[in-house]
Amino acid sequence: MSDQPIAKPLAPVTTPRDRIVKARGTRRSMLDDPRMLGWGSVALVLIAWELIAILTGVNELYLPRPTQIGIALFDMFVNGRLVVDLAATLARVFGGFFIALAVGVALGIWIAAFARVRAVADMFIAALYPLPKVTLIPLLIIWLGTGGPFMLTISALGAIFPIVINTVLGVRQCDPGLVLAARDLGATQRQVMRLVLLPSAIPSIFAGARLGLGVSIILVVAAEMVVGKVGLGSRLYLAGQVLETGQVFAVLIVLATLGIIVTKIQDHIDNRVSRWRLA
Amino acid sequence: MDAPGVAIEFDGVGLAYAVQSGAPTIALDDLRCRFAPGKVTAIIGPSGCGKSTMLQIARGFLEPTHGHLRFVEMSGGKSADRPAMSTVWQAFNLFPWLTVIENVEFGLRLAGLPAAERAARARRALAAVDLLGFEDKVPRQLSGGMRQRVGLARALVMEPEVLLLDEPFGSLDAQTRLILQEQLAALVEKSGTTAILVTHSIDEALLLADTILVMTARPGRIAAELAVDLPRPRSMATTHNPAYGVLFDRIYGLLRDEVMRAMVGERAGA
């Protein structure tokens, strides 16, 4: 068709360079960039918050200004206490989490591999999994006191259920053909577990670990609020008790930042693990 | 027939599954046959006749509920241990998280061989199936035909006394299948290994086997045992041999009822 080449130039032809030149100096450019939009809106809210607080003269006991929160946060870091609290909380969360990961994966494989173990474990998991783990805090304090063992236990307890359940799921979804192939090549039952069931369950195990770590963080901070002398939870609770609202906000910011970092790291690990999956 | 090695004998082997209510389902009934060393025996029959189950019994993964499995020394007729066996699977069953060479080395690793020897043997097996240069790929990066060649290398690297082929080309397209059948025929002829081939392809059985066992539909029984005395090496050209046609017709005749039923089912599905 002879008119086809004519139709083409009618479509707007824009190269990236054109767009930059055209957009320069217009308001549209900022609104097109999602990063700019995200950070810009946060900045806008903070500025609005600061201005409204100044204009209405609201008591900083109820709502401190962002600048006051920033100063409180800086002060808490500089005099060292917050770093100690953060380190204590992280040690408790990850200490318990890694215990749960090791025990939970081993337990999950064992449960998945043996029908009898599964029959027993199903009852206990059904009873304990839906139980809100915070309700165990009083009992654990009676048994373990309020020190390190208590904190590690509550953290591990939070993480272990999603890890066990997902490990069982992952192992059960393993292609039975792979188990047969391994046995054919001379694998013992133990080797089948370690070299076939475990690797084929890895994507599922990571999904469980992801959920478990979230629960660990919640439980450790909650436990710290109840009994801790150091840790982000206890710092938060104490700041609230003495009406240091700026410090309360500062701890919340640290917790939120921690959440962002943990999520990003998990996203990164998930990306790597997903390559493990079958195409 | 004084070839050294161990024959596998099915002596009245049967397998019955217990079901929730009523009489047990009989999968295999009174099988009497011998798999001779150095020979390729094909088991051919309609789907669900228990062909693959026979392999599982020979491999020792399933215990027969009736009869006995015997291993007999060819020279002297004494009973022997179960010979070393390796299986090639219809679904390949490659470990998706391992590379090609790691898959091939898997059995050697379990046997505790040193790394250098493992690598050398795996490379030799990969060369035999024409896959050198693909050592570090993972299975999902390979075509179906290449995956099954990895499966074949993984079995051959164990240097089994008996190679079990469980519909090895069942999930490949027709062209790939033809080429791999020829390659496997050449490989088996060269190595002189004992092989049991489960298939539903008459051509595949005639191309590869010295003996063909034709099975009935469930419960699986042996309908006939045929000797295939076509000259070797065999290839696609063998199909023009008049003896090939005679054997093909004979087997087809035995399988006809099942084949017809399958065709009717296909036509209804189309």
Structure tokens at A123: 């009852």
Taking the Cβ of residue B86 and every Cβ of chain A, the question of whether any pair is shorter than 8 Å is answered with: yes
Distance from CA of B243 to the nearest CA of A (A): 37
Cα–Cα–Cα angle for A211, A216, A222, nearest 5°? 130
**pLDDT score recorded for residue A27:** 58
| Whether residue A174 sits in one domain with residue A79 | yes
The pLDDT of residue A7 is 42
Give the count of domains, chain A.
Answer: 2
Chain B nearest C-alpha distance from A272 (Å): 12
What CATH number should be reported for the domain holding residue A216? 1.10.3720.10
- Assembly ipTM: 0.88
In chain B, where the domains are located: 6-84+160-269
pLDDT in tens, A86-138: 999 999 999 999 999 999 999 999 999 888 999 999 889 888 888 888 898 99
Instruction: Confirm whether A5 is domain-assigned.
Output: no
What 3-state class would DSSP assign to B214? strand
Same domain, A78 and A101: yes
A218 in the same domain as A171 = yes
Nearest to B149 by CA among B192, B99, B203, B92: B92
Task: For residue A88, tell me if it sits in a domain.
Answer: yes
- For the domain spanning B6-84+160-269, the CATH number is 3.40.50.300
Collapsed DSSP state (helix, strand, coil) of residue A1: coil
Cβ distance of A181 and B87 shorter than 8 Å: yes
Contact A184/B59, CB-based, under 8 Å?
Answer: yes
Is residue A1 assigned to a domain? no
Chain A residues whose CB is inside 8 A of the B110 CB are: 185-187, 191, 195
A154/A233 Cα distance (integer angstroms): 14
Does the distance separating the beta carbons of A185 and B106 come in below 8 Å? yes
The verdict on A128 and A75 lying in the same domain is yes
Of residues A73, A87, A107, the one with CA closest to residue A246: A73
Residues 6+ away with beta carbon under 8 Å from A155: A92, A93, A95, A96, A97, A99, A100, A216, A219, A220
Q: Which of B56, B52, B53, B49 is nearest to B254 (CA)?
A: B49
Cα of first residue to Cα of last residue in chain B, in angstroms, is: 49
Q: Quick one: closest CA in B to A199, which residue?
A: B97
**CB-based contact, A55 to chain B, within 8 Å:** no
Same domain membership, residue A219 and residue A96: yes
Asked if residue A47 belongs to a domain, the reply is: yes
Cβ contacts (< 8 Å) between B91 and chain A: which residues? 175, 177
Say whether A183 and B61 touch across the interface (CB within 8 A). Answer: yes
Report the chain A residue with the minimal C-alpha distance to residue B104: A185
Mind listing the pLDDT tens digit for each residue in B72-121?
Answer: 888 777 888 888 999 999 999 999 999 999 999 999 999 999 999 999 99
Quick one: what percent of chain A has pLDDT higher than 70?
87
A94-98 LR contacts (CB < 8 Å, sep 24+): A95/A151, A95/A152, A95/A155, A96/A151, A96/A152, A96/A153, A96/A154, A96/A155, A96/A156, A96/A157, A96/A158, A96/A159, A96/A216, A96/A220, A97/A155, A97/A156, A97/A159, A97/A209, A97/A212, A97/A213, A97/A216
Same domain, A115 and A141: yes
Q: Is residue A34 located within the same domain as residue A152?
A: no
User: CA of B151: which chain A residue's CA is closest?
Assistant: A181
Helix (H), strand (E), coil (C) string for B162-176:
EEEEECCCCCCCHHH
- CB contact A279 to B (< 8 Å): yes
Query: Given A175, A185, A200, which is nearest B107 (Cβ)?
Result: A185
B163, β-bridge pairs: B86, B195
Considering only the beta carbons, identify the residue of A178, A277, A278 that sits closest to B93. Answer: A178
Question: Which tens digits make up the pLDDT trace of B56-65?
Answer: 999 999 999 9
Rounded Cα–Cα distance for residues A229 and B253 (Å):
87
B106: contact with A, CB 8 A cutoff: yes
The predicted model scores a pTM of: 0.77
Q: Is residue A163 domain-resident?
A: yes
A48 and A186 belong to one structural domain: no
In a shared domain, residues A238 and A194: yes
Q: Which domain holds residue A238?
A: 71-274
The span from the CA of A9 to the CA of B71, in Å, is 81
Q: Which of B85, B93, B140 sits opposite A278 (nearest CB)?
A: B140
pLDDT of residue B260: 66
User: What is the pLDDT confidence band of residue A62, given thresholds at 50, 70 and 90?
Assistant: confident
Enter the DSSP assignment of A195.
Answer: I
Q: Are residues A220 and A126 in the same domain?
A: yes
Q: What is the residue type of B215?
A: M
Same domain flag for A42 and A76: no
Cross-chain Cβ contact A199/B85 below 8 Å: no
Residue A42 lies in a domain: yes
- Decide if A185 touches B, using CB distance below 8 A: yes
| Model confidence pLDDT, tens digit, residues B144-154 | 999 999 999 99
User: Cα distance from B108 to chain A (closest Cα, Å)?
Assistant: 8
3-state SS class at A271: helix
A79 and A141 share one domain: yes
Q: How far is B149 from chain A (nearest CA, A)?
A: 15
Q: pLDDT by residue (tens digit) across B6-41?
A: 889 999 899 988 887 778 888 888 889 999 888 999
Mean pLDDT of B161-168: 92
> A176 lies in a domain?
yes
